Each structure stands twice: as structure tokens, then as C-alpha cells.
Structure 1
Amino acid sequence: MKILFGREHFSAGLPWQGLAPLLPEHEIIACSQADIARHISDADIVVPFSARVDRSLIEQGHFGLIQQFGVGLDTVDIEAATEAGVWVARLPAGNTRNADSVAELAIMFMLMLSRRLPELRTAWQEGRWAEPPGFALTDKTACILGLGDIGMALARRLQAFGMKLLAVRNNPEREVLGIPSLKQVFGPKELITALHEADYTIACIRYTPETHHLLNAEAFEAMKPGSFFINVARGGLVDHEALFAALQSGHLAGAGLDVFWEEPVALTHQLFQQNVVVTPHIAGLTDAFYHQGALVFAKNIGRYVRGELPLYTANQIAHCRSSRR
């Protein structure tokens, strides 16, 4: 089968061809996002990565599986895929090292903002020593939005920093084991209450139409004055104009962002003139996720080829349209 990847490589130095030993009977085709339409008619399996797979592309092809190499499916028209008889599947964050990688980046943001890295660079260049003072994570309170694989991976790590933890999740009554520093779990309707006491708010929640702009003006106003906001989930969760207003007014002390309202984002936006630390959507792009994710990816491709139901699906179809399985 021909497996089409909608990006030239996973990341610099980590090519998709590196997956070939795990997929010995398949042909790997890698192209840019702009060229995916040119190759779509030959593909049996499509791996969007960051490419958009819309209704037009789905109707153009004969492929029966859209298998994401990652968690996010916001660039895939799942409704159109379901109507066409195409499976849509993702990789889980928990057993692929994706959650670990994303949690590490969230902590990097927290440390960079707490220790005032931009100001430290200026002090170094100007020859000023022993300033500015920073904030320790110890004894501070973090509110984790979402206690899925990523949220739990982050909670375990923040516990080691001696932090007090709060969380917001869909099922707050569900027991959380192994995190004694998790003091309280709130439901979605208690979001505003949960935000009041946190020195750090970290978005790890899945993006859906229901969570669009979950972090809006009301939410930012509810956050503790002088606190920090981190987003390692999806840009659509945040009303970026409301975030800008909260930073510009000084209500929030800073933000760490790996994801944005559009990608690539215009670097001239006024938000980036505030105390904001940014990375270009790379939270999961690590060697650990590439190698461990590849194993789960290859197993799911194998299930599909054998005519078995793929795992980690985002839709349900009665019959797969592909005749090449």
C-alpha cells in the first residue's frame, strides 16, 4: 500500500523513511502540505500530520484510512470522511511518549517565565549581575485544564517540584491515583472558580467545537493577578485578543504559547510585544515520540491492512470504501 505523509519529514533529522523497517510491505510517500492534492489519488492511507485533509481531498481519493501521526485531528474533516466511508484514527498520547514530551515543554514555559528569561538575557548583555529575581515553582499553585494523558503526565512532574495542584476535567468525580498534591478537581462548569487560586494555568484540554474560546475574557479576568498562562493544547481554545488584553493590562504576568489561532502565525501581532514566550507548535516533536509513536502507528496500519478495525478512531463507519485492503 502507498502511505502518503502530508509533510516532508517528522522533523529535521527524523525522516518518514525511518519508519520503513516497520512498514516493509508498504511504500512511503512524503510531500509538502501544498503538494498533497497532487499525490492524493495514489494514496491508500493518508497521514495528514499538519496538512489539511478537507472534503475535496477526501472525495478525490480512494484511500480508506486517515491515520494521524499524533493526537490532533483539527485539520481533518471527520464528517466528510465518515460520509465517504473513511476511517479517521489518531495516536494516543499516553503510550507513545507524546504526553511526556508535551508535559516537558509546558514545564519549560513555566520555568522560563518564572525565572524571567527575556529580562535575564538583557541583564547579561548589559553586565548587570544578581538580577532580576525570579519566582520558584515550589509551593505555588498550578491549575491543569484537562486530566487526560498529557494533563496527568504534567501533574506527576509538577508534583516533584513541590507544587499544589488543581485541575478541571469533564468527570471530576473520577478518582485520580498517585498524585497526592492534587488538592481538588473541578468540573467544566466550575472553571472560573478553579482559575482564581492558580499561579499557573496550563491548557492541556482537547479542542472541540464545545471548547472553542474556552479561555475568553471572563476566564482571563478570573485568573489570579500576576499569574501565568500556558497553552500546549490547541490555539482555538484561546480568544487571543482577550489574552492580549489581559497581558497588556498587567493582569497576567506572562504567557507561554506553543499553539496559535492560525499557523503559521503573523509575528507582527501585538500579542508578541507582551511578555510572551513562544515555540512553533513543537511540543510533541521529540525523538521519544517519533520512535515510540512509530511502533503504535505501524501496528494500527497492520490492523487496517488485515481488515481489522483500527484502534484510536475518531469516527464510526459501516463499510470502508477502500477496495485495496
Structure 2
Amino acid sequence: MEGMARSSDKNITRVLFCGPHFPASHNYTKEYLQNYPSIQVDVVPISDVPDVIANYHLCVVKTMRLDSNCISRANQMKLIMQFGVGLEGVDINAATRCGIKVARIPGDVTGNAASCAELTIYLMLGLLRKQNEMRMAIEQKKLGVPTGETLLGKTVFILGFGNIGVELAKRLRPFGVKIIATKRSWASHSQVSCQSSGWHCKQVISIFNEKGLFFYKH
């Protein structure tokens, strides 16, 4: 456990990072704040968070579930920050009852959505081209196997047409695929939103609000 906060510390804003995963998050934060002695940044194992959360003012949640029991112990907490877009890991109602603000990191302004979309393209191509089998074939000095497939002509279903979904669809267009996307709800101006994201009227076949489906054909 790194630099556990002491309840006797005064005039120090204490920041808690829950767990060791995604180390760049706390490493960059520590580096940025190293010249601010009034701010202390600690990385605590997930299993220890409930026991120490009362000593912190700001909590950065990564992969753990911050439930009502844990939040009720955070009597000094001012802000819970989700490291990412989804807030499934935070009991927002419990935080609200305790007067704690909850925030997240939006994907559309941080580059995260674009990064996830690019990674998805990479994984799709690797799957179609049978990347693992290809690596083994090369190691065995075999040429022409395995036989891969192309994205061209495929139908791609995007489950959740949010920031990542839109960025993925943009990058899929040059591959000549048909895209089917769905989301929990479509705003009445869905077609306008699609157009502002780079879609054109002739490319939008139809939007079914009652089914939450969006169809795009290259």
C-alpha cells in the first residue's frame, strides 16, 4: 500500500485511487501534483478501500464497485470520480444521500472514444485474418495459410451507439460494410445528430425509434 493517509493530517487534500489497475492514471496524477505538497495521492488495494475511505476527500474509482456501504463510511468525501465513462461502479443514489458529487471522464473530448474505436478495428481485422493461426503458420514456415476474410461486404452490429459507437462507425465506413446500431433511446433529432457526426441523408436508410435501430449502408 502506497503512502496511506493518516487521519491526523491537516490542511491536506487526500486523493484515493482504488486499486492498482490502469497505473498510468495514478502515475500521471502523482507526477502532475508532485509540486503541490497540500495534495496527497495514494493507491490502495481494492480490498482495503472500505477500511480507509473515511480518510480521503476525493476518490477515483477504476474497476471496483463502490457500493452504499463503502460510500457511507466516506464522511470526508467531496467527490467520487469514475476513471472512465460508465458509472455502473458507483452507487449514485448513495453518494447523493451523503452529499457527495459524482463525476466521470467523457470519451468524446478525451480521445478515449477514438482510441477504443481504433482498438476495435484492430481486433476485428485480427479475428477475420486469424492472426494467432497466422503467427503459428509463419513460425512453422508455412505460406498461404490460414485463409482469412475481409470486412468488405460484412454486416457489423454496434451494440450501443454512443460516443465510441459513433467513432467506430466512422472508421468502418471505408471498409464497405453495412452497419446496424442500437441504443437505449433515440432523440427526436437522431438523424440530425448522425448528420453532424459525418453521416449524410442518402446514407441513412432508416431510423426506427420504437426499436432503437439505426441502419447505415455504404
Asked if structure 1 preserves the Cα contact closer than 8 Å seen for 2:26 and 2:43, the reply is: no
State whether residues 172 and 186 of structure 1, in contact with CA within 8 Å, keep that contact through their aligned partners in structure 2.
Answer: no
Does the alignment pair 1:160 with 2:174? Answer: yes
- Distance in 1 between the 2:105 and 2:36 partners? 16
Distance in 2 of aligned mates of 1:11 and 1:29? 12
Cα gap change, 1:85 to 1:165, in 2 (>3 Å): same
Aligned to 2:23: 11
Aligned match of 2:146 in 117, 132, 135?
132
In structure 1, the gaps of 5 or more residues are 199-325
Equivalent of residue 117 in structure 1, options 127, 131, 148: 131
After superposition, the Cα gap between the structure-2 partners of 1:128 and 1:186, relative to the gap in structure 1 and judged at 3 Å, is farther
8 Å CA contact retained: 1:47, 1:69: yes
- Residue from 36, 42, 45 that aligns with 1:29: 42
TM value normalised by structure 2: 0.76
1:12 is displaced (CA, Å) by 6.0
User: What are the superposed Cα offsets for residues 113-135 of structure 1, whole Å, 9 maximum, x if unpaired?
Assistant: 11012322332243321112211
In the other structure, the counterpart of 1:48 is 61
Unaligned 5+ segments in structure 2 are: 1-12
Judging changes above 3 Å, is the alpha-carbon distance between structure 1 residues 13 and 121 closer, same or farther for their aligned structure 2 residues?
farther
Matched position secondary structure for 2:42: strand
| Closer, same or farther: CA 53–103 of 1 in aligned 2, 3 Å | same
Alignment match, 1:57:
70
* Cα pair distance change 1:79/1:148, threshold 3 Å: same
Aligned equivalents of 1:152, 1:43: Cα separation in 2: 37
Is 2:33 the partner of 1:20? yes
Residue 142 to residue 73, structure 1, CA distance change in 2 (3 Å): same
Report if aligned partners of 2:85, 2:106 keep a CA contact under 8 Å in 1: yes
* Alpha-carbon separation, structure 1, partners of 2:204 and 2:145: 33
Secondary structure of 1:166 counterpart: strand
Q: Distance in 2 between matches of 1:187 and 1:142?
A: 19
> Does structure 2 retain, via aligned residues, the 8 Å contact 1:2–1:28?
yes
Question: Partners in 2 of 1:156 and 1:48 — Cα distance?
Answer: 30
SS in 1 for 2:124: helix
Is residue 21–residue 62 contact of structure 2 (8 Å, CA) maintained in 1? Answer: no
1 CA distance for matches of 2:147 and 2:159? 28
> Counterparts of 2:204 and 2:32 in 1: how far apart (Å)?
39
What SS does structure 1 have at the residue aligned with 2:95? helix
Q: Does the 8 Å CA contact 1:67/1:88 hold for their aligned counterparts? A: yes
Aligned counterparts of 1:59 and 1:121: Cα–Cα separation in 2? 51
Higher Cα Rg, which structure: 2
* Structure 1 position 143 matched with structure 2 position 165: no
The count of residues paired between Structure 1 and Structure 2 equals 195
1:265-276 to structure 2, matched below 5 A, reads none
User: What's the secondary structure of 1:165's corresponding residue?
Assistant: strand
The answer on 1:171 being equivalent to 2:171 is no
Do the aligned partners of residues 185 and 129 (structure 1) sit closer, same or farther apart at CA in structure 2, a change above 3 Å counting?
Answer: farther
1:171 aligned partner, one-letter code: W
Greater relative contact order structure (CA < 8 Å, 6+ sep): 1
Instruction: Tell me which residue corresponds to 1:107.
Output: 121
Report the Cα offset of residue 21 of structure 1: 6.0
What's the CA shift for 1:110? 0.6
1:165: how far off? 2.4
* Distance in 2 of aligned mates of 1:133 and 1:187: 40
- RMSD, matched Cα: 2.9
SS in 2 for 1:3: strand
Aligned counterparts of 1:172 and 1:80: Cα–Cα separation in 2: 29
